[in-house]
Amino acid sequence: MTTLERFIGSLPPISLAELDASAALMSRVDRKYFVPRDLLARLLSEEDLRVLEIDDVRTFRYRTVYLDTPDFTFFRQHVQRRRNRFKVRTRLYCDSRDCRLEVKSKGLRGMTVKQRRAHDPARLGHLDTDGREYVTELIGPDAESLQPVLETDYRRTTLTDSHHRITIDQDLDSVSEMQRIPGPEELLVETKSPDGAGALDRMLLRTGIRPHSVSKYCLAASLLYPHLPGNDWARIRRRYWGV
């Protein structure tokens, strides 16, 4: 068992209902970091945290399928740094078989807003008529041409101090119909807050670890589809994926 696993096992639990009630954070500011495992365990031990636990499980497998247009409109919105941009995905929580259709938008002052509804897990990555209508209401006519373009497969642990949320993603694989690219040794840590930086953000900055402006979707797309403009993530790919 690793140092991080022992630390997570020592934390008091929080239920999903409690987490949603205290720190749902559907509108939030996100910051992402790649962090060595032992360092993260040491920094987190300085905080007063609880860990999401469901049926005695604290680390959960997620499969997320991203949908985009044939010419990757959402990917290009991000590359072009459009003020208003979207992501559309279906996410399967593998342990519970719960599935959600989610639309994320980035808008005013960099705030991320997530809207979601239940989705049929048997149709992961595909929209039925109701689902397509739901997405159309949120993003407009681009929804008509959406198709699954890639999947991310990883394990996630969620921590909270009631005001901020921290997610820890490990074994982050990027998957297309043609290939599966394993993730890095480092953990992808995301802090989510309704306002400014939290305690972990400040500790990471003091150790010299800076946030990366990167989405799992865009990074995976640049790994799996070399013809897409990927210069924004070239340094991250070289440092953490070695490609």
Name the β-bridge partners of 114.
104
Tokens matching residue 59: 């680390």
Token pair listed for 75: 């990917």
How far is it, in rounded angstroms, from Cα 16 to Cα 50?
11
Q: Which secondary-structure segment (H or E) carries 61?
A: strand 60-68
182/111: higher pLDDT = 182
Residue 30, C-beta contacts closer than 8 angstroms, at least 6 positions apart: 112, 190, 191, 192
Q: What is the pLDDT of residues 44-64, one digit of tens each?
A: 998 899 999 999 999 999 999
pLDDT tens-digit series, residues 72-93: 999 999 888 887 889 999 999 9
Specify whether the CB–CB gap between 221 and 149 falls below 8 A.
yes
Q: Which residue has the higher pLDDT, 212 or 21?
A: 212
Q: pLDDT higher for 20 or 202? A: 202
Distance of CA 223 to the CA centre of its chain: 16
Under a CB-based contact definition with an 8 Å cutoff, are residues 34 and 117 in contact? no
How many domains, the chain?
Answer: 1
- Cross-strand pairs, 122: none
Q: Which residues form the domain of 154?
A: 3-241
Q: How confident is the model at residue 2 (pLDDT cuts 50, 70, 90)?
A: confident
Q: The domain spanning residue 73 has which CATH number?
A: 3.20.100.30
